[in-house]
Structure 1
Amino acid sequence: MSERNTLDDELLEPTADEAERDVMDSEDRLRPDFVAEVLDAVHEGDAETARTLVEPLHPADVADLIELARADEREGLVAALAELVDAEVLAELNEHVREILVSEMAPERVAELAGELDTDDAVAIIEDLEEDEQRAVLRAMEPDDRAAIEEALTYAEETAGRLMQRDLIAVPTHWNVGQVIDYLRSEPDLADDFWEVFVVSPAHHPVGTCKLSTILRSPRATRIADIMVEEQTLIPVGMDQEDVALRFQKYALVSAAVVDPSGRLVGMITVDDIVHIIQQEAGEDVLLLSGAGDGDINEPLAPTIRRRLTWLVINLGTAILAASVVGFFQSEIAAFALLAVLMPIVSGMGGNAGTQTLAVTVRALATNQLTSSNTVRMFGREFKIALANGLSLGVLIGCGVAFLFHNPMLGMVIAAAMIINNLVAGIVGIMVPVTLERLRIDPAVSSAVFVTTATDVMGFFSFLGLAAAVGLHG
């Protein structure tokens, strides 16, 4: 009987997965009451309870918990969870939060954690440290790990060299399947996670790849050269990470070899790193268009204010330019005050149309959908869209104004201005980012300012200019 009761008790006890689900909401986010419970335990000095609550969580969820705590609560939380805040948690942390936590750790502890990570994750932790802190951490690391990280730091940020892992499996062409399997089983210092084996020439140039599934299903006597796939996507070590992500997306890669300028195999990049890059680059372009900086809620206030204020000051200058256009028509506005009421409609709708075209164009450039081969066709396409939208909006607003204010001429003027400004929005919305791209300037950074300025100026000028030309008055 006691055995049955014991078994029943074990069956009733929640598993680690069930315990984790209890603290997550329907969208896999930590529940506020759980976060509050952990923080309350920390405030009361009950570190054991805090660790018990957090222990079942995945490292990514532990990182989320640290990020959800207030800045003044994080130090105590990390101290209480010291045993659980391992290398995996550190790799999952937001870079701004991680930078603060790492700067407070002893160099020996940072070195210990970095040594447990893949090279790319270790570099992400060390690269943001101050130069003296960086040297102290590197001195405390194992020689092999230090050499790998120092080499990675010689490459430019956001390139394949920073992103790649040095731990990979490479075998010569003359080996057979049996030799490869024996090598994988007997060598203690090989990469823990890999999906394919790279086949290299005597000069260590990649000549092919072989999936693990192919190796395991082939007889031991089969030569690797006979079953390898010669066609492969090679990533230059200096390639921008956004271009690397596009290659992974285009060719549905799981991993890819990274080569130096001489063609030697120096590392590999895996799809789990690329998923992060795709998300980062997509969000970055949207934020650059708005001038919101990194857009990270954990970013310190000073740089956030500085970045946003810079673009707001620039926008203030463009707003003054648009206002100066209005100043040319003061007499017309004074004679017919209704013009002042209606002119924001024309400029506002033009701005919205321009933003739509701009967003589509920047995305097309970022994903290599828009190239010099189809730029003219893209211009034609956006011109047709702008003309159709301008005519539709023009007729709608023109009829509405004519009916509401009993002034058919005013309706015709605002309709014509709406058509003109929509055409300008369509043309400028594609022309500006394409031109910046040709000049090797990131179109996401500067395009919005030019487009909104053009639509504001043309919106005011077309509406007020047409009103002055036909002699509208109250």
Structure 2
Amino acid sequence: MSERADTAEPRPDEERIDDLPLEEAESSHDEDDRLKPEFVAAVREAAEEGDGERARELVSPLHPADIADLLELVPSEERGAVAAALGDLVGAEVLSELNDYVRDDLLGALAPRQVAEFAAELDTDDAVAIIEDLEEEDQQAVLDALDPEDRAAIESALSYPEESAGRLMQRDLVAVPEHMTVGQVIDYLRDNRDLTSDFWEIFVVDEQHRPIGTCQLSWILTCPRAIAMADLMKREQTLIPVDMDQEEVALRFQKYALISAAVVDASGRLVGMITVDDIVHIISEEAGEDILRLSGAGEGDINEPVMDSYRARVRWLLTNLLTALVASTIIGIFEGTIEKMVALATLMPIVAGVGGNAGSQTMAVTVRALATNQITGTNTRRTILREIRVALLNGATVALVLGIGVSLVFWNGHLGVVIAAAMMTNIVTAGLAGAAVPLAFDRLNLDPAVASSIFVTMITDSMGFLAFLGLATAAGLTG
């Protein structure tokens, strides 16, 4: 680092930290609560020059989430130097807030014992998030460096499937037997120094440690001490199976407006809890994943290595190339018709393009409804019929406007009727395909967001060209 500091030259496109007024350098955020470019540049320059004290002075007022944002904004080749300059400011909480790829970069430069120290400071779910993506050898080295109690908790979490409630849950919670009174619970909370520091709800369990109710802290604080927990607790509760997928967990939190929920194993025993702060991240991640899958963009992370992004995207582009050949083959079949009336070539993209957009609209609605469990076996048929009715209305409107426009522009009423009929046919087909393709993938237990767009596009393009050119040929349109 010292050699780099000795030879570093000021960036021509950035202000030097010494040139920045103190209040401007220390004003870290803009009006949209984003880190200012000049602030990031000031921290980078302090790290480059080996001025760790100045870097820490600038960054110390920031929240751990903002420090994580800072490290993500720094170029990958400079992150190690910036993290070293910040020292203890890059702690466990910062690591838990980091983007996965950025965190992997930083963890790769740390010794297993250092990673273990960070993991020991975090809740089990955050510690698992840090450790689970490490190489198996590095993961084992970190686990070996942990205290036996922490290691057992993390190994237990790692034994559950990825993106399951078992990986997501916290093991630190407060559970009391139903025979205790409010006063006894309050005394227990005050006297027990080993309890988790953050909780909003107390779980009431039976002799087999099965949850039988919950009680909010506000209820305990406002009730007489003599009231029994069995009389105060709420018996209706939402229990989360330990192997439930995290997306389904998020849907339950959203549906029932939960703050926290008990996680139970196969025998119904209480093994952990999930809190709403973890679910907020899950909802955001799952929504982003579905959007990116619809476009075939892979994880779509700007910090993802270039080759990983290439491999994720190119396979869908190649698949799209194959499906596009179907549409081009249809065009080739009607080559003679197109030669006789060049206007057909001008109008073909309109039919295919509008049909493709109609299919994308229906597909997006269907994929979202599947992701949020709005579509079930009970209403599948009704949903498809609804989308067909919408497509009929849309098709009639667009076909009428387009038919009249083409008739007036080309002074050819037959051509206007043909393109109107083709547009109507394609939009209705698009509505049917946009609903049916995701539903078919879902019935086959495949992710409907992954490949639906390619097949819907193929269907709408092919049907658009086939309907338009086929009707034009049947109508005997010539130049």
Q: Deviations over 1:196-241 (max 9, x none)?
A: 1100011010000111011111222221111011000000000000
**d(CA) in 2 for partners of 1:279, 1:103:** 27
Question: Where does residue 250 of structure 1 map in the other structure?
Answer: 255
**d(CA) in 2 for partners of 1:386, 1:465:** 21
Change (3 A) 1:195 1:375: same
Question: Where does residue 131 of structure 2 map in the other structure?
Answer: 126
Query: Bigger CA drift: 19-28 or 300-309?
Result: 19-28
**d(CA) in 2 for partners of 1:21, 1:279:** 31
**d(CA) in 1 for partners of 2:365, 2:198:** 38
Deviation at 1:291, TM superposition (A): 0.2
Of the three residues 197, 202, 206, the one matched with 1:201 is 206
**d(CA) in 1 for partners of 2:120, 2:188:** 24
**d(CA) in 1 for partners of 2:469, 2:378:** 39
Please list, as runs of the form range in 1=range in 2, the aligned pairs for 1:162-241 lying within 5 A after superposition. Answer: 162-241=167-246
Deviation at 1:22, TM superposition (A): 2.6
Query: Bigger CA drift: 258-267 or 375-384?
Result: 375-384
TM-score where L is the length of structure 1: 0.95
Please list, as runs of the form range in 1=range in 2, the aligned pairs for 1:21-40 lying within 5 A after superposition. Answer: 22-40=27-45
Secondary structure in structure 2 of the residue aligned to 1:293: coil
Contact 2:125 2:170 in 1 (8 A): yes
Question: Where does residue 86 of structure 1 map in the other structure?
Answer: 91
Question: Where does residue 357 of structure 1 map in the other structure?
Answer: 362
Contact 1:205 1:264 in 2 (8 A): yes
Change (3 A) 1:324 1:305: same
Q: Deviations over 1:373-429 (max 9, x none)?
A: 222221222111111111111111111111111111111111100000000000110
Residue 315 (structure 1) aligned with residue 324 (structure 2): no
Question: Where does residue 9 of structure 1 map in the other structure?
Answer: none
Contact 2:26 2:58 in 1 (8 A): no
Which residue type is aligned with residue 440 of structure 1? N
Contact 2:298 2:309 in 1 (8 A): yes
**d(CA) in 2 for partners of 1:214, 1:151:** 33
Contact 1:19 1:56 in 2 (8 A): no
Q: Deviations over 1:340-360 (max 9, x none)?
A: 111111011100000000001
Which residue type is aligned with residue 183 of structure 1? Y
Question: Where does residue 469 of structure 2 map in the other structure?
Answer: 464
Question: Where does residue 430 of structure 1 map in the other structure?
Answer: 435
Which residue type is aligned with residue 64 of structure 2? P
Query: Bigger CA drift: 429-438 or 370-379?
Result: 370-379
Deviation at 1:19, TM superposition (A): 9.6
Change (3 A) 1:21 1:390: farther
Q: Percent identity?
A: 62
Q: Deviations over 1:52-105 (max 9, x none)?
A: 000000000000000000011101000001110011100000011001111211
Unaligned runs of 5+ in 1: 1-17
Deviation at 1:21, TM superposition (A): 8.8
Contact 2:164 2:242 in 1 (8 A): yes
Contact 2:176 2:205 in 1 (8 A): yes
Deviation at 1:36, TM superposition (A): 0.6
Contact 1:20 1:56 in 2 (8 A): no
Residue 111 (structure 1) aligned with residue 116 (structure 2): yes
Please list, as runs of the form range in 1=range in 2, the aligned pairs for 1:275-286 lying within 5 A after superposition. Answer: 275-286=280-291
Residue 399 (structure 1) aligned with residue 381 (structure 2): no
Residue 455 (structure 1) aligned with residue 464 (structure 2): no
Unaligned runs of 5+ in 2: 1-22
Which residue type is aligned with residue 108 of structure 1? R
Contact 2:25 2:42 in 1 (8 A): no
Q: Deviations over 1:113-169 (max 9, x none)?
A: 000000000000000000110011001111111000000000000000000000000
Deviation at 1:471, TM superposition (A): 0.6
Contact 2:398 2:423 in 1 (8 A): yes
Question: Where does residue 473 of structure 1 map in the other structure?
Answer: 478
Query: Bigger CA drift: 156-165 or 440-449?
Result: 440-449
| Residue-pair matches, total | 457
Question: Where does residue 335 of structure 1 map in the other structure?
Answer: 340
**d(CA) in 2 for partners of 1:300, 1:82:** 26
Deviation at 1:20, TM superposition (A): 11
**d(CA) in 2 for partners of 1:406, 1:223:** 86
Structure 1: 4+ residue segments shifted above 6 A: 18-21
Contact 1:255 1:268 in 2 (8 A): yes
**d(CA) in 1 for partners of 2:205, 2:127:** 27
Question: What is the alpha-carbon root mean square deviation over aligned residues?
Answer: 1.2
Change (3 A) 1:371 1:36: same
**d(CA) in 2 for partners of 1:415, 1:441:** 36
Query: Bigger CA drift: 402-411 or 372-381?
Result: 372-381
**d(CA) in 2 for partners of 1:378, 1:223:** 49
